[in-house]
Amino acid sequence: MTSSVFLPSQNIWTRLRYLKRSKIYKAIRPYTLACKVDEGFPTNNLLFEEGPLEHLTDIRGLDPGQVTLEKNGFTMIQHKFEQSTANEEAIKEPGGYLDAIQQLARDVLTAEGVQVEQVKVINWVFRTAKKDEMFANADMTGQDFRAFAPDTYVHNDCNYYGGDKRIRALLGAETDTILASKRVRLIKHVTNFVSFV
Can you give the pTM of this predicted structure? 0.66
196 pLDDT exceeds 70? no
95 pLDDT exceeds 50? yes
Rounded Cα distance between 143 and 56, Å, is: 40
Rounded Cα distance between 119 and 25, Å, is: 36
- CA distances for 24 relative to 31, 37, 136, 158, angstroms: 11, 21, 26, 22
27-81: per-residue pLDDT in tens?
Answer: 999 988 877 778 888 888 999 999 999 998 888 778 777 888 888 888 888 788 8
> Among 46, 42, 43, 40, which residue's Cα sits nearest to residue 25?
46
Position 145 scores a pLDDT of 53
Q: β-strands 2-4, 12-19: how paired?
A: unpaired
Q: How many domains does the chain fold into? A: 1
Amino acid at 168: R
Give the contacts of 77 (CB within 8 A, at least 6 positions apart). 64, 108
130 pLDDT exceeds 80? no
Residue numbers of the domain that contains 42: 2-195
Q: How confident is the model at residue 13 (pLDDT cuts 50, 70, 90)?
A: very high
Q: How many residues are listed for the chain in this entry?
A: 197
H/E stretch holding 102 reads: helix 97-111
Amino acid at 120: K
